[in-house]
Amino acid sequence: MVATLSGQQTYLLKVSVDDAESGARLGFANLQIAGTTTGGTTDDSGRWETRLAPGQYQVVASLIGYASDTLAFELTAPKELSLHLRPAAQTLNTVTVTTDDAQLRMTRALMGVEQLNIEEIKLLPLALGEFDVFKGLQLTSGVSSAGEASNGLSVRGGTLDQNLLLLDDAPIFTPTHLFGIFSVFTPDAVENINLYRGNIPARYGGRISSVVDVRNRNPNAEKFKLRGGIGLVSSRLAVETPLTRDKKLQVLAAGRVGVNDFVLRFSEELENTRSRFSDATLKLRWLANDNNIFTLSGFFSQDFYQLDLLTAFRGIIAENNQYAYQTLNGTAEWLRVLGERANLVTKVIRADHVPKLLFPELESDNVIEFQSGIRQTELRSTLDYRVGQHQLSFGGQLIRYDLKPGQLNPGTSNAVGFQQLDTEQGLEVSFYVEDEWNIGDVATLSAGLRYTQFRQLGPGTVRTYAPGEEIREEQLIGSEEFGAGESLQTYSGFEPRLGLSVKLTDRLRFKAAYALTRQYLQNIYNSTTPLPTSRWKLSDKFLQPQRAGLISGGLYAVLPGNGGYEISLEGYYRDIQNLLEYKPGADFFLDQSVETELLQGQGRAYGVELGLQKTKGQWTARANYTYARVQNLVQGNSFSTNINRGEWYNGYFDQPHTFNGSLNFDDGKNNRVGFTLVAQSNRPFTQPNGVVEIGDLVVPLFLERNNARMPAYHRLDFSWTVYNMSMRKKRWKGEWTLTAYNLYGRRNAINVYYQPRLGNGDEEVFLDSPLASYKLAIFGTPIISLSYSFTFE
Amino acid sequence: MRKFGWFLVFLLLQTCTDPVVPVFQPESGFYLVEGAIVNQRGLSQVRVTRSEFRDGRFLLLTQEGLSVASVNEEGQEVQWLRDSLDPQLYLPPLSFAAEEGKRYFLRITTADGLMMESEPEEILTPVSIDEVDMVFEQRSYFRSALSRWVPAFQFSIDFTDPAGQENYYQVKYRYWEETRVCASCERGLWRDGVCIPDDRNMATWDYECAATCYGIRFGDENAIISDQFGDGGTIANLPVARLDHVRETGGLLFEAQLFNISRSAHDFIRVLRELSEDGGGLNATIPTALNGNLATVGENSEVPTLVLGYVSAISVATKRLYFDRRDIEGSPLPNQATPVEEPPLVDCPPPIGCPPRAPCTESRDRTPNPPAGWGG
């Protein structure tokens, strides 16, 4: 017992603040004893203490990104309190299987928002034992890929480039290693992933389908911490440690390296093939004082592959093909705490993606290099302000795009000369306001408005084609040059975002949402999925911004009992204008006038998503069923521009039925077992409308697109993790994970294709057809992987 | 470029390719026109068919009553005639050779008056081949079906691209080698120039040539290249062909053919190749229509008749290279098929008699006359 100067007795009050979902201690949360001048900030381990006279009090905790929490207590003796802050609605999750936040999910106004945390993803059985953010996301409703190897995700039927992929706010343009086998995000750095596929908050823009917001951990270690692992394909290591004695400067450094060359050398066929990749994350966090936090986040990823293939390509004669691409991103963030109610976050973001194609010339030491690049530089500032039942945010965003569509460096080659396409520049200015308003106990309204203006900037050339004619090289009638900084084309508009959650009963809510989005940057490619080297293109005079309006509504219920059962039913309809399509035979390689190869049309996507999950107990489970369609309409005056006779046709990711289920068991001691089942309609493909022989070539004849569907996809995976093996708390903790991907060896089709028959094989299948047809599958057998992960602290 | 997808197929060693029944969604009623107007005599030709779907089969049928003519920029029209052996093929008079620098198009009129025309194209100046080279590699490429490396001859050409203009090229080849077999019969005997069914022959029997005979093989692989990125440069080591080394001895005369074609013809061939070769892999090209340079003219219909295919104007240059396989340091691919000759009956009793030798009749595939350049 200690007396104050006045002699009144006081008691010690200890308060700890943590994240209600992850349990992570929250540093620098503001604490205020209501009705007094006593207050303070938690330290970096989430603790704060003070002394108070006996009495009745209320402590109010607040932190940017979290909803405030108030706890009433009576102090009659020394006391310890814990406050569990819920993530603020528009920045954090609605759904995790590992937390007991059903009530929060009920009240949130946002629809179509999913969060996966890293621990949840680590439970998933993975191909080749590699951690993969995307594989985790594919277990949520409405998310799929172009197959096992796909350079991105399709969300509610959208194309891969219609998703804004962010890693600590910096965009990722090539999100996968090994051309799509698994994602690039450094495993030991990632903390959680937010997927916005319904009501996209107004602070996000630039893509029409979804936002995938991947967050790396903030370094927050008391002591030096080391973690890592060894797997079949890659090995990884991460260090997290304070850099100063006061622990106000902390660092997280994590990396992963995959060098598969030594495996390839065992194969006579692949002895000249090369494959290497790596990624690394560095995050520095400096807690300057109670009101200022600075964070610096960097990400690096690189891939190199060599394909042993003699090539004659556009005048280039090469003994093999090499693909080399890298990403270098950085984010600097300054969080300024402006009292109890407001925070200002300012960020400077830079993303740089440089893909290269290398052609070692035949009988020469020279290497011809094709290089392209995309750089995005961004300044963003957001003010968050809490007043009454309103959580307000205001902000602005300035993005500068610099695209190098292609440059050919011949070296000493005589066959080709230096080539460079005109660079593209763009400036996107956006302002946004958001409000999440709790209307008593009855409803929650999330309203946002975003205004965005995009300007295509010079230097550049605007070509003019004969009016009323198809845009073709032959119809070019003139061009106009623009100087640096001059505006070539401007697009702008408002983007309203609305979300409403209405309480019907204590256990049942109705939700509805609307979002309008625009997209000024697109990936153009004439193949199943984009390559890392696929070209990016800004909107211009001919390529108008894609625009989508999404309306959705649904019911959410928590079932009676203590089982933690939840059920949700959600429907949506998305209308797309200026949808991007390609003319037959489009080729964008070093093409100065890509507008002659592009088409634009309309799209529509609609579906119903039914979800059921059990979140409590040793057994947890989730199951989703989705019925979803996506269709395109592209009309024109000629065969080349009138796709599928100008009628609606199935989109490239039209997969009507999808079922995902997962079942996990954790004995709470040292065993964790999980099963995952995925079953879905496969993607459309195109069956030929005939076959012709031209010269020596037997050629399938296609007059339409996406007129058939590949056989259904289904797969069962299994994982078993043994952790805490010694059953004692030790500084070195290791765990073994055994995974079986595609347990029953289903040969799921990733492509069905036609080609001339070679020899007389498989006559009983091909009969008298002049073309052979094959179904291509990868991972067609069970893939058993064993990996070891460790933590040392 | 898109073949990288196959890289993964090999890399992962976890892929599988299963044959499936080829399913088509046949479309009828379109014309397919495919041909060339060439600056050398005897090389111009066009094939005209119309699609129909009958009895569950997709067919490209011969059209009767067609009028086919080439028209130059001066309006001079040359009527083409149907080939006597191939009713889908139309040929100009033997003396016809398109003139360099002039623009030509093809006009086809059906019996019911439908007119189709190709877009006019100019006959460009042929670009000569500077050099034809051959390199032998004992481990030239890996053939999965044999699970081994295959020895092969790699042929390439050098040529100088004319500066100051965009050029697009197509490369083809043909080669001659002595052939022992001048006739073959499946489940039959070859007598008096025809195959007669015979129960003794359960497979195929070959008949030796009566005199020296040169077989001609054509490579129509539609290799294309352009000077889009290197105007006026030297194109060196451009691969033209890869021929497996399958014989210990024997001469081989190789002819490289360099076609100077238009940009749109080049793009059409690129699409052809993609459709034929690049449909597979993990990252396949989106299937594309064979939309070429033909359309109907003056048709009064809401839905115009679809005309697919391409008629190009072409100039061609050739160069030959001769070598004898006995001079090659390397061994041929083992276990090659050898001719199976008809086993003679004892004393060759009539009416079957002894197996005859077959004459080497001049045709597209063989000739009794040594080709120019044979023997070096």
Whole-angstrom CA distances from A546 to A172, A517, A603, B316 are 20, 8, 10, 46
Check: CB of residue A311 under 8 Å from CB of residue A329.
no
DSSP reduced 3-state for B228:
coil
Decide if A762 touches B, using CB distance below 8 A.
Answer: yes
Tokens encoding A89: 């609605």
Model's pTM, two decimal places? 0.82
Share of chain A above pLDDT 90, in %: 41
- Band (pLDDT 50/70/90 cuts) for residue A98 is very low
User: Nearest 10 degrees: CA dihedral of A194, A200, A206, A208?
Assistant: 100
Of the candidates A310, A357, A686, which has its C-beta nearest B239's C-beta? A310
> Quick check: A412 pLDDT over 90?
no
Tens-digit pLDDT profile for residues B19-62: 999 998 888 888 999 999 999 887 889 999 998 877 767 788 99
Q: Do A751 and B284 touch (CB under 8 A)?
A: yes
Q: Do B230 and A149 touch (CB under 8 A)?
A: no
Residue B216, judged by CB atoms within 10 A of its CB (0-12, 13-18, 19+), counts as middle
List phi, psi (to 5°) of A37: -95, 5
Dist. CA B265–CA B237, nearest whole Å: 23
Which residue do the tokens 């009050």 mark? A13
Query: What's the mean per-residue pLDDT of chain B?
Result: 86
Provide the shortest C-alpha distance from residue B291 to chain A (in Å).
7
Tens-digit pLDDT profile for residues A608-628: 999 998 877 888 888 999 999
Dist. CA A247–CA A286, nearest whole Å: 9
Which residues 569-588 in chain A show a CB within 8 A of chain B? 582, 584-585, 587
Check: CB of residue B253 under 8 Å from CB of residue B307.
no
Query: What's the mean per-residue pLDDT of chain A?
Result: 85
Q: Give the H or E element holding residue A600.
A: strand A598-614
Dist. CA A190–CA A401, nearest whole Å: 26
For position B46, what pLDDT does the model report?
Answer: 94
Maximal C-alpha separation, chain A: 105
Q: Would you give the DSSP letter of residue B209?
A: B
Check: CB of residue A109 under 8 Å from CB of residue A93.
no
Which residues 300-329 in chain A show a CB within 8 A of chain B? 305, 307, 309-310, 312-317, 321, 323
Q: Do A773 and B149 touch (CB under 8 A)?
A: no
For position B120, what pLDDT does the model report?
Answer: 95
Distance of CA B139 to the CA centre of its chain: 26
Which residue in B has a C-alpha nearest to residue A773's C-alpha? B22
- Band (pLDDT 50/70/90 cuts) for residue B255 is very high
For position B4, what pLDDT does the model report?
Answer: 42
* Average pLDDT of the residues in A252-275: 75
Dist. CA B12–CA A741, nearest whole Å: 14
Whole-angstrom CA distances from B368 to A99, A637, A719, B249 are 86, 55, 71, 20
Dist. CA A228–CA A183, nearest whole Å: 18
Check: CB of residue B144 under 8 Å from CB of residue B186.
no
Which residues 15-44 in chain B show a CB within 8 A of chain A? 15-27, 30, 32, 34
Dist. CA B367–CA B216, nearest whole Å: 8
Q: Do B271 and A687 touch (CB under 8 A)?
A: no
Dist. CA A365–CA A363, nearest whole Å: 7
Q: How many CB atoms lie within 10 A of CB A364?
A: 17
Decide if A560 touches B, using CB distance below 8 A.
Answer: no
> Quick check: A454 pLDDT over 60?
yes
Q: How many CB atoms lie within 10 A of CB A750?
A: 29
Check: CB of residue A612 under 8 Å from CB of residue A565.
yes
Maximal C-alpha separation, chain B: 73
List b or e across A560-578, with b for residues whose CB sees 16 or more CB atoms inside 10 angstroms.
eeeebbbebebbbebebbb
Dist. CA B239–CA B241, nearest whole Å: 6
Segment among A20-34, A257-271, B106-120, B121-135 with least mean pLDDT: A257-271
Q: How many CB atoms lie within 10 A of CB B199?
A: 7
Q: Collect all residues with Cβ–Cβ distance below 8 Å to A523 and sequence separation of at least 6.
A: A160, A161, A173, A530, A534, A535, A536, A537
Decide if A705 touches B, using CB distance below 8 A.
Answer: yes
> Quick check: A102 pLDDT over 70?
no
Dist. CA A376–CA A352, nearest whole Å: 7
User: Nearest 10 degrees: CA dihedral of B341, B343, B347, B353?
Assistant: -60
Which residue do the tokens 């195959």 mark? B195
Whole-angstrom CA distances from A445 to A63, A450, A517 are 21, 17, 19
What beta strand segments (E) does A76-146 contain?
A: 79-85, 113-117, 143-144
Decide if B192 touches A, using CB distance below 8 A.
Answer: no
**More confidently predicted of A309 and A336:** A336
Q: Would you give the DSSP letter of residue B155?
A: E
Question: Which span out of A67-81, A347-361, A608-622, A716-730 was modeled with the highest average pLDDT?
Answer: A347-361
* Average pLDDT of the residues in A578-606: 92
> Quick check: B7 pLDDT over 60?
no
* Average pLDDT of the residues in B69-96: 91
- Band (pLDDT 50/70/90 cuts) for residue A92 is very low
Q: How many CB atoms lie within 10 A of CB A9?
A: 11
Question: Which span out of A112-116, A340-344, A485-489, B14-18 was modeled with the highest average pLDDT?
Answer: A485-489
> Quick check: A497 pLDDT over 60?
yes
**More confidently predicted of B92 and A115:** B92
For position A269, what pLDDT does the model report?
Answer: 62
Tokens encoding B295: 């359309």
Q: Collect all residues with Cβ–Cβ distance below 8 Å to A396 and sequence separation of at least 6.
A: A380, A381, A429, A430, A431, A432
Tens-digit pLDDT profile for residues B290-314: 788 999 998 887 778 889 999 999 9
Tens-digit pLDDT profile for residues A46-62: 888 888 888 888 888 87
